[in-house]
Structure 1
C-alpha cells in the first residue's frame, strides 16, 4: 500500500466544483496533486494562476499513462463520468468521482464491478456523509434517541444555480439520498411517486417533489428546486421519542426537539382517542442545540479517500453505495418521465 505523502494524484476537470477539490487535495501533506486536465484554456489559466505547482494538460491520456500517478479525481459533467472513470480504473488508478457516480444504474454497476475486480478504490463525492452534523445525526439514531422513525422530509431549494446538463433531481437529490442511505443503511426504498415541472428549460425539471417508502414504517418526502425564493438546506426527522431538524444553513445545525404524543391510560369522559382506555397526550419538552466539533466536510472526505487507498478499506461512499444512489435517482426519474406522458 502507498505510504503517507507518497500518494500522487491527478485531477480531471476544474469547472464549478473542481477548484474546491483542487484546493483541498493541494493543501494536504498526505498526497501530491501533481497534474490537472482541463480542455478549457480559460480554466487552465485559472489553475495556473492559483495553483502554480500543478502541471496542466488538455487531455487525460498523459496522466492515465503516467505509472507514478496512483489516483484520479474526476470532476467533470456526469455524462462523462462513465468513460473517464472506466479509463482510469483500466489504467490501474484509484478513483474519486464527483456525485453522482454515473448517469444510469447500468453504467454505475459496471464501474463498481470493475473497481472490485481490479481491487481499486472507487469513491463517490457524497460530501454530506462526511459532514460532522450528519454524523452526529447518525449517532443519535444508533443510540435510539429518537425512537422509531416515522418519516423524514428533505428540502434543498434555491434560486439557481440552473444547470443545462441535468435536471434539478439529478443535480441536488444525490445529496439527500446519500444522507438517507447513510442514516438508514439497512433499508432501501420499496416504492415511490414523483412529480415535477420544467419551467425554465423544456425537458429539464426545475422543481421535483418525490415520496419514497423505505419500509412499512419509514416514509420520506423530498422537495428539490432551483426555482425558489429561499435558499433552504433542511432535513426533518420525526421519531417516536423525539424529533430533529438538521439545517445546514444555520449556525446551530442540529436541533433536537423533545416533542410528540404519548398514549396514557384514562377512563370515562376524559377519553378522546379511539383506543379504548387510552387518551392521546401532547408532550412538550426541551429543545437541545448540541455543540458539534465541526471540520470542513471536504477535508473529512479527502482524508477518508486517502485512508482507503492506504488501507484498502471500502469507502463509506464507495461503488456499491454510489450504485444505490443512482438506482434511486433513476427510479424517481422513471416516475417523472411517466408523468410527462400522462
Structure 2
C-alpha cells in the first residue's frame, strides 16, 4: 500500500478523508495537516488519525499527498510535496495562474512524480457508461446550474463550476481551441456569477457552455451532437442516453435498447434509443484509487497535470473574454 497524507480538512477535505479510508486496499493513511491547528486536532480526534504539526512533517512521512486546500495555496503546497519526493493529488483548479501551473509541470517532470488533478466529473457514471461508444461530437452543449452558496465565490463561476465542463469538453473534442467568445455578469458576488462561452476547435467542433451559481435549481447536463448519434449526459442524475438512426436493413443494430420505426424521404429507418447502465460509484474514491494504480503500473494519471493546465488555460481565456466584453458595455447611468 502507498502511504498517503491529507493536507486540508475543511468541508471537501473531510470527504476525501472518508474516501481514503474506503480505499484501504491501496492506501495507508499516515495522517492529516491543516493550517488551522484546532480544526486539524478536532478532525484527528474524530477520525482517529494523526494530526501533523506541519506540512513538511507530513510530506516526509508520506509517498502521496492529497491536497484539498484553497486554490490560492495549491501552488505552494503541491510544489512542497513534489520537492519532498511525493506523488500528488490536487483538487481542481490546478493553480490560480498559468505561470504557477507551468512551473509545477516542469517540477513534476524533473521529480518524475505523478500529479493528478481532481476533475471528478471524469469519473461520473453517466460519462463512464458510454464505454466503447464512439464519441466524435460536432456540437457540444453544456449547462451547469447551481443554487447560490457563498462558499466558492472568491473566484468566478468559470473556475468554480464551468471548469468541470471545460475538462470534459476538451477531452471529448480532442482538438486544440481556435476561438473563444464569452459573456458574463456578477450578480450576487464580486466576480461573475453567470457565464456563457462559445468555444470553437480546430477540427470544426463547437461547444456552447453555460454556468450559473444563481439558479433556482441544480442542473448538470451535457449534450453531444455528432454525425451518427445524439448523446445526452445527465451528470446530476448520473444517467446517459444514446440515440442513433439506422437504415431498416442495417446490420449491427445493438440488441440492448428500444427501436422505433421512422418514415423518412430516404425510406424506412429505425431510431435506436439506448440508456447504458451506470451503476453507483464513489467518484472521489475512484479518482484517488486511479492515481494509486497509475503509480503502481507506471502509467500516466487519469487526469494529468497537463490536463489540469489545459482546463485552466481555457478557463483563463474565457475569463479574459468576459472581462473584455464587459469593458465594451456602456456603464449604467447613476
Task: Tell whether the 8 Å contact from 2:140 to 2:169 is kept in structure 1 after alignment.
Answer: no
Q: Give the alignment partner of residue 6 of structure 2, picking from 6, 11, 24.
A: 11
**Offset of residue 88 of structure 1:** 0.9
Structure 1 gaps of 5+ residues are 143-147, 261-278
Task: Tell whether the 8 Å contact from 2:94 to 2:101 is kept in structure 1 after alignment.
Answer: yes
Q: Give the alignment partner of residue 89 of structure 2, picking from 89, 96, 117.
A: 96
Mapped to 2, the partners of 1:288 and 1:258 lie a distance apart of 9
Q: Give the alignment partner of residue 212 of structure 1, picking from 178, 186, 199.
A: 199
Name the structure 1 match of 2:27: 31
Structure 2 gaps of 5+ residues are 247-264, 329-334
Tell me, yes or no, if structure 1 residue 22 matches structure 2 residue 11: no
**Offset of residue 249 of structure 1:** 2.4
Tell me, yes or no, if structure 1 residue 330 matches structure 2 residue 326: no
Counterparts in 2 of 1:197-276, with a 5 A limit?
Answer: 197-202=185-190, 204-250=191-237, 253-258=239-244
Mapped to 2, the partners of 1:154 and 1:136 lie a distance apart of 18
Mapped to 2, the partners of 1:280 and 1:228 lie a distance apart of 43
Deviations 1:6-52 (A, max 9, x none): x1111110123111111111222221111111123563355234311
Name the structure 2 match of 1:161: 149
SS of corresponding position for 2:121? helix
Name the structure 1 match of 2:116: 123
TM-score, normalised by the number of residues in structure 2: 0.86
Name the structure 2 match of 1:276: none
Name the structure 2 match of 1:177: 166
Deviations 1:298-332 (A, max 9, x none): 22211111112222211021111111111111111
Name the structure 2 match of 1:305: 291
Deviations 1:69-92 (A, max 9, x none): 111111011111111111111111
Mapped to 2, the partners of 1:295 and 1:200 lie a distance apart of 34
Number of equivalent positions: 310
TM-score, normalised by the number of residues in structure 1: 0.84
Name the structure 1 match of 2:101: 108
What's the Cα RMSD here? Answer: 2.4
